[in-house]
Amino acid sequence: MTERDPKAEIPETPRRAPADPVAAVVPVPAEADQLPEPPDVNFAEYYHEARPRTLRHRARVRSTVRRRSVSQDGPATGENPVYVSWLLARSMLGHADELARQFSGQGSMWQNPFANPGPRHAVETASVWFTAYPISLITREGTSFLGALGDTDLWQAFETIGIEALHTGPVKRAGGLSGWQPTPSVDGHFDRISNEIDPVFGTEDEFRAMCATATWHGGTIIDDVVPGHTGKGPDFRLAELAYGDYPGIYHMVEIEPADWGTLPEVPAGHDSVNLDAATEEALEKAGYIVGRLQRVIFFREGVKETNWSVTRQVTGVDGVDRRWVYLHYFKDGQPSVNWLDPTFAGMRMVIGDALHSLADLGSGALRLDANGFLGVEKSVGGSPGWSEGHPLSEAANHLIASMVRKVGGFTFQELNLTVDDIKVTSEAGADLSYDFINRPAYHHALATSDTEFLRLTLRTALDLGVDPASLVHALQNHDELTYELVHWTAGHTSELFSFRGEEITGGDLADTIRRDLCEKLTGPDAPYNLIFTTNGIACTTATVIAAALGIEALDDIGPADVERIRRVHLLLVMFNAFQPGVFALSGWDLLGMLTLPPEQVSDLLSSGDTRWVSRPAHDLMGHRPDAEVSSSGMPRGRSLYGALPEQLADETSFARQMQAILKVRKHSGVATARQVDVPDVAHRGLLVMVHALDDGRVQATVLNFADEHVDAAVQSDHFTPGSPVVDLFSGESLGTVDDLHGFRVDMTPFRATAVVLESPAEHEPG
């Protein structure tokens, strides 16, 4: 037996609890331990009564698909059958076809409802998520990433805090192949080339063990599927070789030799080169490709000027030399999947990947990454190709999400599209969507001490029918603070909006918000946050707060500053957690991580991807306090709050205060409530969100984004005069709703609170 690490002992409950729900831990009313009345039984529960989670039915593969071992011998060309066999043995499509046969003809495939998204069912399954980033997690010596995430002490800490699900991030093999040799990932493992777990992160057995540990602690594992693209792995190389169905996986077009003169030469040491705009137009006019699309993501002059690249000359399995032009919405190492090829090879490959994760490895949910780009169509009249909000994307998302629901899981999507498009995709696609609507807006509210734009985004979602309960409201993840504001820059550019006392177009509104964010959160006064192309700002939540508080140098942060940052951090927790939907946070949030100095990741920044400064390595459990890098080589960043065991031993810590917030959230039922109002406020720094709870009561979340004291008048037509107003945290009465449908609450700087309005009849004298 090994000696137990004393730091890993997790206290179950705090010793005492001070008062302010955002400044310190809040005592939860005694009735919080009472279970609420069960809701009406839904379709799934009617046919499949509640039973222990470990015994709930889920379709499982009867046996794992064995991957053939083929030796490497001879040249890596299409004319070498050994090389082709080696690629086939490693291909995702080949693995998917073998795996799919185990599900055909099985009654287990018809035991779950699947046609309609079930956002509230997904939220009930897991309403608080931890999002991991594999290459940034510091683990015990000799312990893999997956081994660390399956650690019992970590899950005990998660259960104590109130975290109910863990999103692993991409952990399957990624990158590409150059001949026989693997090449590294070009996009943080989002360029998948295999269904196998990448050994750098662990093993399939460790993944299954992690799922078992999560289940034991009442949790769920969320994995990834990438339906929009792969890396340049075996499947892409087989496509280049014109083998079987493989060219049908990708949006790639064979260029006739007579037209090769229009194609650029591929530089030595490369296997493809990006097309410039002139060549893109020429190939479009020649009838080869769709041509110019609505935008060029990650545009960089001389590197990526269009969404199309051309391969070098490749000799196929039939001895024919070919050059292909292929679509890639992102980097050239991420060829796009074709969802409407007659072979349906791309669809088969993606569905196989999803089934492997859910039914073989044991995850309970999947993130659909970049799934808004699954359809592309040629336009007329010189307009850009139709590539966003395309009906094919909606159909493909419906297929993936339905298959996942058929085997007992749920999905969420990261769609940074217009609110209209998110509404459409939510009607038949993924169960949940990432909240790109309000995420930049709450950062803007903090940066400017003004919630006007945040109120606008919340109201826009409500007006267009996007249910907040269908959204994943998040703090930091592995990406930048997005400020593309697609709803205003793409779908409603010319529409007029009322903002700061005047009518302004959507395009001008987006420009104003971006300018405010850049001026407040980056530049000479906050050099630790970096702009990331046209997409957003590379930062952590802690450094957003530091910039908003006027801290110019991270090295100057002292104990008093840590306390201020923590207070504001908890305000943002309250905003995201005390509204319907999922609340998500990362290790960077749990530990209060700061961005890395650019010189520490200069090699990674050389490609122009500034996001690496916001992905510092961190040690959740404090296993290796002396480690300077993660096992993947990411430099360790500075933590303001300390490791989880340390925090859970201190009732005033960030983790303990968040634990109290999440406990009250769970008891109140706000996660599955309906948002009914975002009323006007008397002070620009205030925000009020009004919700109808399942038990018929009205709940209000009140937040002060200003660094000043506010005597807040809170009003809404949904408040009934005479209703007693009760603080959800302390259980104390704050008075009654007056005849103007309002009440008052004292709001100190950066304070947040939550109240519930009781029925007047219940409090009338007997």
Per-residue pLDDT tens over the stretch 427-453: 888 999 999 999 999 999 999 999 999
pLDDT > 70: percent of the chain: 90
Average pLDDT, the chain: 90
Q: Is the pLDDT of residue 176 over 60?
A: yes
Structure token pair of residue 103: 């599900």
Nearest to 431 by CA among 686, 165, 647: 165
pLDDT band at 614 (very low <50, low <70, confident <90, very high): very high
Cα–Cα distance measured from residue 233 to residue 91, given in angstroms and rounded to the nearest whole number: 8
- In this structure, of 459-463, 604-608, 626-630, the range with the lowest mean pLDDT score is 604-608
pLDDT (tens digit, 9 = 90+) per residue, 48-74?
Answer: 333 334 333 345 666 666 666 678 889
pLDDT (tens digit, 9 = 90+) per residue, 143-167?
Answer: 999 999 999 999 999 999 999 999 9
Q: Is the pLDDT of residue 624 over 90?
A: yes
Q: What is the pLDDT of residue 26?
A: 42
pLDDT band at 576 (very low <50, low <70, confident <90, very high): very high
Q: What is the pLDDT of residue 13?
A: 41
- Do 707 and 686 meet the contact criterion of CB atoms below 8 Å apart? no
Cα–Cα distance measured from residue 596 to residue 203, given in angstroms and rounded to the nearest whole number: 30
Q: Is the pLDDT of residue 421 over 60?
A: yes
Q: What is the pLDDT of residue 108?
A: 82
pLDDT (tens digit, 9 = 90+) per residue, 498-557?
Answer: 999 999 999 999 999 999 999 999 999 999 999 998 889 999 999 999 999 999 999 999
Cα–Cα distance measured from residue 338 to residue 349, given in angstroms and rounded to the nearest whole number: 11
Per DSSP (E only), the strands in 292-409 are 308-311, 314-315, 321-327, 365-368
pLDDT (tens digit, 9 = 90+) per residue, 291-300?
Answer: 999 989 888 8
Q: What is the pLDDT of residue 33?
A: 43
H helical segments located in 407-487: 419-428, 439-448, 452-463, 486
- In this structure, of 30-44, 323-337, 363-377, 712-726, the range with the lowest mean pLDDT score is 30-44
Nearest to 117 by CA among 375, 477, 326, 400: 400
What does pTM read for this prediction?
0.88
More confident call, 2 vs 654: 654
- Do 727 and 761 meet the contact criterion of CB atoms below 8 Å apart? no
pLDDT (tens digit, 9 = 90+) per residue, 310-322?
Answer: 999 999 999 999 9
Cα–Cα distance measured from residue 97 to residue 244, given in angstroms and rounded to the nearest whole number: 13
- Do 175 and 233 meet the contact criterion of CB atoms below 8 Å apart? yes
Q: What is the pLDDT of residue 105?
A: 87
- Do 305 and 277 meet the contact criterion of CB atoms below 8 Å apart? yes
More confident call, 9 vs 475: 475
Q: What is the pLDDT of residue 57?
A: 38
Q: What is the pLDDT of residue 68?
A: 66
> Tell me, what DSSP letter sits at residue 644?
H
pLDDT (tens digit, 9 = 90+) per residue, 633-656?
Answer: 999 999 999 999 999 999 999 999
pLDDT (tens digit, 9 = 90+) per residue, 599-613?
Answer: 999 999 998 889 999
- In this structure, of 13-17, 192-196, 494-498, 723-727, the range with the lowest mean pLDDT score is 13-17
Cα–Cα distance measured from residue 180 to residue 652, given in angstroms and rounded to the nearest whole number: 55
Cα–Cα distance measured from residue 232 to residue 297, given in angstroms and rounded to the nearest whole number: 19
Q: Is the pLDDT of residue 197 over 80?
A: yes
Q: Are β-strands 752-757 and 698-704 bridged in parallel, bridged antiparallel, or unpaired? A: antiparallel
Q: What is the pLDDT of residue 39?
A: 42
Average confidence (pLDDT) over 681-710 = 97
Average confidence (pLDDT) over 585-609 = 95
Angle between helices 419-428 and 391-406 (to 10 degrees): 40
Q: Is the pLDDT of residue 336 over 90?
A: yes
| Collapsed DSSP state (helix, strand, coil) of residue 222 | strand
pLDDT band at 766 (very low <50, low <70, confident <90, very high): very low
Cα–Cα distance measured from residue 53 to residue 443, given in angstroms and rounded to the nearest whole number: 37
Average confidence (pLDDT) over 410-428 = 86
Separation of CA 55 from chain center: 29
More confident call, 690 vs 390: 690
pLDDT band at 455 (very low <50, low <70, confident <90, very high): very high
pLDDT (tens digit, 9 = 90+) per residue, 98-149?
Answer: 999 888 888 888 888 999 999 999 999 999 999 999 889 999 999 999 999 9
Q: Is the pLDDT of residue 5 over 80?
A: no
pLDDT > 90: percent of the chain: 79
Most confidently predicted of 7-21, 105-119, 258-272, 386-400: 258-272
Cα–Cα distance measured from residue 263 to residue 311, given in angstroms and rounded to the nearest whole number: 10
Q: What is the pLDDT of residue 227?
A: 94
Q: What is the pLDDT of residue 2?
A: 39
Q: What is the pLDDT of residue 8?
A: 39
